[in-house]
């Protein structure tokens, strides 16, 4: 199964996303979607699993859960928006990871791309950075990977380009 991981779109879906994810079987959006329009566009494009993020409004929070726990090709996946990194997870997330025991943990929020193992919990942590134009990140990023019979392969980081140009108006 080919998976596309995206986060922190903040109401902006770069047209390149569909090109990079065209061969994906499923998308995982780790929160801060920003608008129903972005969610609808992704869902119309590919089957997408979402969690809401801290900037998502009440409509988004009714539509999507805070956490998702699901199986993908024999691997348990836990996805939330604000998670932290090994070993410095949010205390609530640390408890959930210890109870759920996922092999894959996906989060967003930091706008910092990270893919790293957590040997203590026997999982791989994925944060795809940020794909939107809002935030402090410099480069907009995505992750693409394959999962086949409980094995993760072909992990790719995709750069969409610079977040945007800061104008004089932005400084006012």
pLDDT, residue 170, reads 40
Q: How far apart are CA 118 and CA 116, in angstroms?
A: 7
Which tens digits make up the pLDDT trace of 35-90? 999 999 999 999 999 999 999 999 999 999 999 999 999 999 999 999 999 989 99
Assess contact for 111 and 135: CB atoms under 8 A: yes
Question: In degrees rounded to 5, what are phi and psi of residue 59?
Answer: -60, -40
Which tens digits make up the pLDDT trace of 17-26? 999 999 999 9
Which token pair is 91? 């205390």
Which tens digits make up the pLDDT trace of 136-152? 777 899 999 999 999 99
Rg (CA), the chain: 15
Which tens digits make up the pLDDT trace of 105-138? 999 999 999 999 999 999 999 999 999 887 777 7
Give the closest residue to 147 by CA, choosing from 97, 106, 88, 118: 106
pTM here is 0.91
Indicate the SS3 state at residue 9. coil
- Tokens 């879906």 appear where? 13
pLDDT, residue 171, reads 36
């Amino acid at each position: 199964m080919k998976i596309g991981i995206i986060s922190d779109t903040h109401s902006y879906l770069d047209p390149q996303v569909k090109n990079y994810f065209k061969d994906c079987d499923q998308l995982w959006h780790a929160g801060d979607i920003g608008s129903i329009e972005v969610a609808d566009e992704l869902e119309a494009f590919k089957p997408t699993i979402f969690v809401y993020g801290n900037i998502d409004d009440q409509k988004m929070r009714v539509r999507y859960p805070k956490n998702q726990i699901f199986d993908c090709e024999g691997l348990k996946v836990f996805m939330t928006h604000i998670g932290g990194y090994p070993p410095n997870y949010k205390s609530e997330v640390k408890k959930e990871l210890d109870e759920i025991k996922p092999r894959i943990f996906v989060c967003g929020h930091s706008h910092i791309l990270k893919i790293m193992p957590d040997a203590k919990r026997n999982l791989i942590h994925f944060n795809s950075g940020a794909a939107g134009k809002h935030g402090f990140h410099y480069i907009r990023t995505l992750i693409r990977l394959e999962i086949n019979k409980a094995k993760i392969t072909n992990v790719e980081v995709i750069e969409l380009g610079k977040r945007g140009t800061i104008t004089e108006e932005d400084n006012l």
